[in-house]
Amino acid sequence: MPKFTIQDVLPLPRTPVKIPRIGFGVFQDPPNKPECVSSCLAALRAGYRHIDTAQYYENEEAVGEAVRQSGLKRSDVFVTTKLGEPQGSVEKTLESLRASVERIGLGWVDLFLVHTPVSGSEGRREIWEALEKLKDEGGTKSIGVSNYGVKHLEEIKGYSSTIPAVNQVELHPWLQQSEIVDYCFKEGIVVEAYTPLVRTQKNDDPDVVSIAEAHSVTPAQVLVRWSLQRGFVPLPKSYNPERIKSNADVYKFELSDEEMERLNAKALPGGEGALLSVRSRDTNASEWQPEETSQKAGTSVIL
User: What is the C-alpha separation between 70 and 78, in angstroms, rounded?
Assistant: 13
User: What is the C-alpha separation between 259 and 245, in angstroms, rounded?
Assistant: 24
Show the beta-strand stretches assigned E in the chain.
9-11, 18-20, 24-25, 50-52, 78-83, 111-114, 143-146, 166-170, 190-194, 233-234
Query: Which of 48, 57, 148, 183 is an active site residue?
Result: 57
In Å, what is the CA distance from 25 to each residue of 74, 111, 187, 189, 272? 18, 14, 25, 20, 23
Instruction: Judge whether 115 is annotated as a binding position.
Output: yes
User: What is the C-alpha separation between 241 and 47, in angstroms, rounded?
Assistant: 12
User: What is the C-alpha separation between 30 and 35, in angstroms, rounded?
Assistant: 7
Phi then psi for 286, rounded to 5 degrees? -65, -15
Q: Is 239 a catalytic residue?
A: no
Active site residues: 57
Q: Which residues are annotated as a binding site for substrate?
A: 115
